[in-house]
Amino acid sequence: MGLGLNLKVNRLPARTWNWLDMNEASLKQIEAGDEHTVITEGIAKEVTGTEAWQKEFSAIATGMGADMDRLAREANVSPIRIQSAAQSAAQSESQYGSQYGSGSGAFQDNRRAALHFVFGDGKKSFQPVEILVREGEMLTVVMDFTSAPEAGGLAAVQTRFRVQANARLRLIQMQLLGSGYTMLNDMGGRCDTGASAEVIQMFLGGDKTYAGCRTDLSGRESSLNVDVGYLGRDGQHFDMNYVADHWGEKSKSRTRAKGVLSDRAFKLFRGTIDFKAGSVGAEGEETEDVLLMGEDAVNQTIPLILCGEEDVQGSHGATIGRLDDELLFYLCSRGMSRQAANKMITRARLDAVCRRMEDGPATQMVQDYLEEVIGNES
């Protein structure tokens, strides 16, 4: 790939002042194409993508933007395809047909699939993933990204999902990479009538993390819930871009981010709710709660609401605070050191996001990682 590609990623849908340097992120000389290991669970066989499949997924926009597709073409790696259990149309109609139009939430399948990514030291890798949840079915997909603790390199993963009518997807991602790694975590999805997608992400490792998620709520009463947890320390850098595009009537979205920053860490969070014309009765909510554990941490947040429809409800907010002196005094007066108190409060904030996973193996993996990097002193 020579000198690699120069990429513009995580573009804000509506630009703000250029001097703020928050409209987008610039990446220089990015290469990807090295081998990596993916251990799979719950994927019985390879899904062969038809021309229709490929056309449908390639049309889904992603949060990091079109330049990630340029990188995908350069890497030229075949996607990992996951789909929920398929039933014939006759079975679906006879068993659930009367319920589809009402969005009753009756699911045919509760399948779990897992992708365990292992990245080697010095590698620059790219992997596309495509997820299809068929009408009326339910699917949980767990993805974790790991390497040796001191390893460095580039890990790029681009995930696209399609949730058909009255289906449900729960997508869990855990970034637990080594201290020298840069992560490009790109995501895009579409939810049809009555469909719901739940995305839970934990960004805990690596050196730099660029993450984006864009979801089209195209169907009536479709919904999206996003929960993001992050831990910034030792100069870590996080650049994020989350967009909920409301097209369907009475569609709903909620994006919540919660994190802790210390030791020269930097975080930029862009959160956009875009009410398109015709999204009558749609509701969107975006909140962020950041705890700054040091004077040298940098936090930037851009909440954005775009309205092309009048009859909608949108709200956004950000809470940025520091450790409460009275709480710290109380804990120290009970025999706890200041360092131990800081660690306990950090763990409590991240545990609040972790509990939303509702997946035992994933929760345990995050807990073990936090135990290793934070500890549990008393």
pLDDT tens-digit series, residues 11-64 = 999 998 888 899 999 999 999 989 899 999 988 555 555 677 787 898 999 999
> What pLDDT shows up at residue 278?
96
> What pLDDT shows up at residue 2?
59
> Rounded to an integer, what distance in angstroms lies between the CA atom of residue 368 and that of residue 363?
9
> What pLDDT shows up at residue 295?
83
* 211 and 238 Cβ atoms separated by less than 8 Å: yes
Low-confidence ranges of the chain (pLDDT < 50): 1, 87-108, 376-378
> What pLDDT shows up at residue 347?
87
> Rounded to an integer, what distance in angstroms lies between the CA atom of residue 362 and that of residue 355?
10
- In angstroms, how far is the first alpha carbon of the chain from the final one? 51
Could you tell me which residues come within 8 angstroms of residue 325 by beta carbon, excluding any fewer than 6 positions away? none
> What pLDDT shows up at residue 48?
58
> What pLDDT shows up at residue 40?
92
Residue listed under structure tokens 């909620």:
254
